[in-house]
A = this chain, B = another copy of it.
Amino acid sequence: MEKWIVNKRVYYDATDAGGIVYHTEYLKFCEQARSELFFQQGIFFEDGGYVIKRVEADYLGSAKLGDILEIETTISKIGNSFVEFNQKVMKEGDKIFQMKAVAVYIDESGKIGRIPPRHRVLLNLYLQKGEF
């Protein structure tokens, strides 16, 4: 079991007038981390991709301009056509955000399809048995 880890810097566009990161930006960082996992294998979703069906997110802390965040991604379930991602955003060792995201595979025809074997091999690397 591996974790997929990417770092993200907080720039002005991710902050708001409250002085901290706007709440949807954590979901965006997490999406970028998921996409990067595929991109690094040369998978650019030209034949099919994933859409989000459900998100459960907890905001445990905050981040501000210039902070460097670590996005940790593991996978808790892989079905025929869906994946459940568990993602955490860490700031200097503290967990400031956690999210469960269920994504469904959409094939070339635009319909729900079976996750391709090549994707499945990749996703299995990060499959985590145990607790969220």
Contacting A13 at CB < 8 Å: which of B32, B49, B59, B66?
Answer: B32
- In the complex, whether A119 has a CB less than 8 A from a CB of chain B is no
Contacting A55 at CB < 8 Å: which of B22, B44, B49, B57?
Answer: B57
Determine the distance from Cα of A78 to Cα of B23 in the docked complex, in whole angstroms: 21
| Binary flags per residue of A47-63, CB closer than 8 Å to B gives 1, else 0 | 00101111111110010
When distances are taken between beta carbons in the complex, the residues of chain B under 8 Å from A53 are: 58-59
Number of copies: 4
Determine the distance from Cα of A39 to Cα of B65 in the docked complex, in whole angstroms: 9
Contact A62 B56 (CB under 8 A): no
A30 to chain B: closest residue by CB = B24
A45 to chain B: closest residue by CB = B65
Contact B54 A57 (CB under 8 A): yes
Supplied contacts A13-B32, A53-B59, 6 more A-B pairs, CB within 8 Å? A11-B28, A12-B16, A17-B64, A24-B24, A44-B65, A51-B59
